[in-house]
Structures are given as structure tokens and as C-alpha cells.
Amino acid sequence: MKIALINENSQNAKNPMIEAALKKVVEPMGHTVYNYGMYAEEGSNPLTYVQNGILAAVLINSGAADYVVTGCGTGEGAMLACNSFPGVLCGHVADPLDAYTFAQVNDGNAVAMPFALKNGWGQELNLEYTFEKLFGFGSGNGYPAERVVPEQRNKKILDGVRAAAFKPLTEILDALDPELVKGALSGEHFQEYFFANATDEELIAKVKEILGL
């Protein structure tokens, strides 16, 4: 699985720690992490939590990523931004229990984490334990056992509702502020990672148009 890491700018200094915890957990599982920033280096492209959602939507809908790990100070803004776009089902995940139940009950493809709140000593351990519960036990299996059938049924219903509620992503991108969108797709390694992994030709063409390529 291709997992994209996206940081909002207020938490840029924590990007290396988050990346290290994520890679430590998921690489032995056979997954690959792509760090789309925001990077900790001075001068790196600043991403707002709204742009986190734009970038997450482009990556998932294009096939460049299968899963997005993102966040901001509280995690709430990044979650709301991600869920504003088709194809992205994002949960607010603060700890291992959140991670496990979101994976098993809601079967999403993105999480938004509170990288500023309640994060002092042991933050890297909480991240590692959370990623273990998020990626280490499958997804969509239901929890608890007696709720499996209705939960899986409700997830299919939700998928249908979301499919009916959203316009195609290319149309949404056209309707947004061009500079906002371009900024979301201008990270240091965006083009390197995106064009190597994306499979949706329509979105690839749209990204090239946005970036003037």
C-alpha cells in the first residue's frame, strides 16, 4: 500500500518524527511511505489544513496514494478538509483505540491526527502504537463481533450517499482558487512522487494543467 504523509504548516517541525514513527511501523508490513510535507526544512512549501484536503483528494483519487496520514494542531481542520472531497473518507484519530475502531468500523482511507494537542513526552510512542492499530489488523472487519453485519451494511450505504453527493474532482478543482490548488501541489517532492505513482489519466492531465507543465 502507498501511504502518503501530509503535515499542516503549524506542525512542520514534527514532520521527521511522524515520518520516522510511520515508517518504523508500516514498512515491515510491506507498505511504502511517501512524505509530501510540509517538510521541516526552512523554506519548504507551507501547507494549510485546507490544502491538506486538496492534496489528499488528488493523491487518493489519482491512485498516487492508497491511504493518507495527515493532521494539524487539533486534527479537526484537516479532517473536515479531507471529507470535503470525493473519494476521501477521513477519521479523526488521536490514539490507538481511535485508530483500531476507525479502521474496523468505518474502513476509511485517511486519518487526521492532532499533532499539537496533548503531545509531550511519549508522542512518538503514541504515534507508533496508533499506526500499529491503524494498519496492522486489516480494515472493515467490524467491531465488536455482533455488530459486523450492520456496520458493513452501513459502510456501503455511506459510500453510496457520498458518491451521489459529490461532483467529479476535476470539476471541483476547476472551481477553486487556482493559487490555493497550485500551492497544495507544489511541495518539494510532489511531482517526483505523484507522476511515478498516479494512474488516473484524467487527473494526471489536470495536475499538469494546474502546474503549467
Can you give the CATH number for the domain in which 29 is found? 3.40.1400.10
How many angstroms separate the CA atoms of 65 and 120, rounded?
30
pLDDT tens for each residue of 66-76:
999 999 999 99
In the chain, the largest separation of any two C-alpha atoms, in whole Å, equals 53
Contacting residues for 8 by C-beta, under 8 A, at least 6 apart: 38, 47, 48, 49, 52, 70, 71, 72, 73, 77, 78, 115
Computed over every residue of the chain, the mean pLDDT equals 94
Bridge-based pairing state of the strands 2-7 and 32-35: parallel
- pLDDT of 211 reads 96
**Do the Cβ atoms of 35 and 19 come closer than 8 Å?**
yes
Res 5 pLDDT > 70? yes
Res 213 pLDDT > 70? yes
- pLDDT of 41 reads 67
Amino acid at 189: H
Res 139 pLDDT > 70? yes
- Report phi then psi at 130, rounded to 5: -65, -45
Count: domains in the chain: 1
Domain coverage including residue 119: 2-211
Q: What is the mean pLDDT of residues 19-25?
A: 98
- pLDDT of 42 reads 63
Tell me which of 47 and 111 has the higher pLDDT.
111
- pLDDT of 106 reads 96
Q: Looking at the whole model, is its pTM more than 0.85?
A: yes
Angle at 52 between CA 47 and CA 53, to 5 degrees: 150
What is the DSSP secondary-structure string of 95-140?
SHHHHHHIIIII--SEEEEESSTT-BTBHHHHHHHHHHHHHSS-SS
- pLDDT of 31 reads 98
